[in-house]
A and B are shown apart, each in its own frame.
Chain A
Amino acid sequence: KAGVTQTPRYLIKTRGQQVTLSCSPISGHRSVSWYQQTPGQGLQFLFEYFSETQRNKGNFPGRFSGRQFSNSRSEMNVSTLELGDSALYLCASSLGLAGKNEQFFGPGTRLTVL
Chain B
Amino acid sequence: AQSVSQHNHHVILSEAASLELGCNYSYGGTVNLFWYVQYPGQHLQLLLKYFSGDPLVKGIKGFEAEFIKSKFSFNLRKPSVQWSDTAEYFCAVNADYGGATNKLIFGTGTLLAVQP
The residues of A with any CB-CB pair to B shorter than 8 Å are: 3-4, 31, 33, 35, 42-45, 48, 55-56, 58, 90, 92, 94, 97-103, 105-108
From A45, A58, A108, name the one whose CB has the most chain B CB atoms within 10 angstroms.
A45
Chain B residues with CB under 8 Å of A58's CB are 103
In the complex, whether B32 has a CB less than 8 A from a CB of chain A is: yes
Chain B residues with CB under 8 Å of A33's CB are 102-104
The residues of B with any CB-CB pair to A shorter than 8 Å are: 32, 36, 43-46, 49, 51, 90, 92, 94-97, 99-109
Contact present for B101 and A100 (CB under 8 Å): no
Task: Quote the shortest CB–CB distance from A101 to chain B (angstroms).
Answer: 6
Contact present for A45 and B104 (CB under 8 Å): yes
Contact present for A45 and B45 (CB under 8 Å): no
